[in-house]
Amino acid sequence: MTTVTLYHNPRCSKSRQTLALLEAQNVQIDIVEYLKNVPSSDDIRAILAMLAISPRELMRTKETEYKEQNLGDVNLTDEQLINAMINTPKLIERPIAIANGKAAVGRPPENVLAIL
């Protein structure tokens, strides 16, 4: 049986929809409520590598905190952006599913089916 790690925010409708979709697939789900259990910089780097995207692409750029922290500044390093996600986990795009050495962002929720 496939085990899926789901970086989940129960208050987010897309995250809840993704969880329901995974439950319907009869897979084992390891839920990480990332706002309570913030991923480490190594975890974030691993997710970025699996997704083959930059740190900024994993960020919720419309959040107030993104603007307040001036995270749109093109001179910020990847390390600075990763640290911003650790310090303000609300900035991490959600939900993120990881299975079989691959990751997918559940926007739309059906994206996660590709990694099962």
DSSP string of 53-87, one letter each residue? --GGGGB-TTSHHHHHTTTT-TT--HHHHHHHHHH
pLDDT of residue 67: 97
pLDDT of residue 44: 98
Counting the structural domains of the chain, the total is 1
* Residue ranges for the chain with pLDDT beneath 70: none
What integer best gives the mean pLDDT of the chain?
Answer: 97
pLDDT of residue 1: 79
Q: Which of 100, 106, 96 is nearest to 27 (CA)?
A: 100
Here the CATH number for the domain that contains residue 23 is 3.40.30.10
Which residues are known catalytic residues?
12
pTM of the predicted protein model: 0.95
Cα–Cα distance measured from residue 22 to residue 102, given in angstroms and rounded to the nearest whole number: 15
Expressed as residue numbers, the domain containing 25 is 3-115
